[in-house]
Amino acid sequence: MSTTPTKLEPLAIHGGTPVREKLLPYGRQSLNEEDIQTVVEVLRSDWLTTGPKVAEFEERFSAWVGAKYAVSFSSGTAALHGAAFAAGIGPGDEAVTTPMTFCATANCVLYQGAKPVFADVSADTLNLDPGEVAGKLSPRTKAILAVDYAGHPAELDALRSLAEQNKLLLIEDACHALGADYRGMRVGGIADMTVFSFHPVKHLTTGEGGMVTTNDTALAETMRRFRNHGISSEARQRQESGQWFYEMVLLGFNYRLADIACALGISQLKKLEPNLARRREIAAQYMKAFRNLRAVEVPAVRDGVNPAWHLYPIRLNLESLAVERADVVRALRAENIGVSVHYVPVHRHPYYRDRFAYQGGECPVAEDAYERLISLPMFHAMTPQDVEDVVHALQKVVAHYAK
């Protein structure tokens, strides 16, 4: 692994030679011929959607994470919406969630006519701070909606205790955390409902897709109906039983995940263990390379937790640099390192500012972190050279801009 350069290299943004010839994205899918052939087989079958691959994927997935039930959806956002609906969140209700997430986490509460209430995050993991959550609960609170930021599980024991004490449901947005371990348990069977995403940058992909796992029979049945227009039976069930009659029992959506996507998910699930191992290996290499770099704060990992590393978010110690975060991002991209930023705190987006009159300063820990965050490339198909290039580029840039 590279070490900090002994002399300054000219930055690519100033006319120097880039570390890489081509852009390395912050994340991307990894597919092989087995994945492709699995999908081709479904394309040649009788069922492209609502067929046998849906149930097979759900059964395999629930077994892998250690939950009784898994309900597939057309996207992670649809899965979040399904969980919010099953939780009974509705007009006049509130759900306490984190600002340090993609907007879909909070939007699913709005879809139900309710209000997302933002609690600040812990400074180390950038996950929901249970103490801050406790201060945001009200008689209108229906659920706590936690996020496993970057793949590090939230403080699930404390949040579950809060939920139980206040007769609330705990929904875990684990879209970053498939395969993460929390105190000896896999994420997926701990919260009342756990939501996963299968977007191409995630640990396994179905193109687009999502899943909710739960141990509650009633919640699972409600979500199955919700994703299927609110209809109480599915097309394959009716065909197998020779029945045509169906009834709509609630107002749902068409959020079904097709057999084509589920077949890809089944194939990808077989590779999840090595994919996780590779991400953890990359995280360990980053940690070793950057932990003594004065301008960089590496992600924290709490005891009893093994993150899944969807992201590798560093924070810049800006007091050690002569420039701002935006300058570092531009310099890294000029070196062809496709860094990104996760996330603009949700309450700082124009829609939320305008609708709820947020002024800034409501969640100071999250807001301070946002000003310093950079997500480095992290995906399981990265080669050793890719990792070397990221290390080289970051060391090169911060050395150039050091005070």
Domains of the chain (ranges, CATH numbers):
12-27+272-401 (3.90.1150.10), 33-269 (3.40.640.10)
For 159, phi then psi, to 5°, come to -70, -35
Q: Residue 1: pLDDT band by 50, 70, 90 thresholds?
A: low
The pLDDT of residue 2 is 47
Percent of the chain with pLDDT strictly greater than 90 = 94
110 - beta bridge partners?
none
Q: Render pLDDT for 169-189 as a digit per residue (tens, 0 to 9).
A: 999 999 999 999 999 999 999
Question: What's the pTM?
Answer: 0.96
Least confident of 136-150, 224-238, 253-267: 224-238
Structure tokens at 115: 């209000």
Q: Render pLDDT for 228-244 as a digit per residue (tens, 0 to 9).
A: 999 987 777 777 777 87
Catalytic, out of 115, 142, 202, 271: 202
| Other C-beta atoms lying within 10 Å of the C-beta of residue 49 | 16
Q: Render pLDDT for 14-73 as a digit per residue (tens, 0 to 9).
A: 999 999 999 999 999 999 999 999 999 999 999 999 999 999 999 999 999 999 999 999
Average pLDDT for 125-142: 98
Whether the ω angle into residue 286 lies within 30 degrees of 0, i.e. cis, is no
**Catalytic site includes residue 202:** yes
Q: Say which residue the tokens 């997926």 belong to.
A: 188
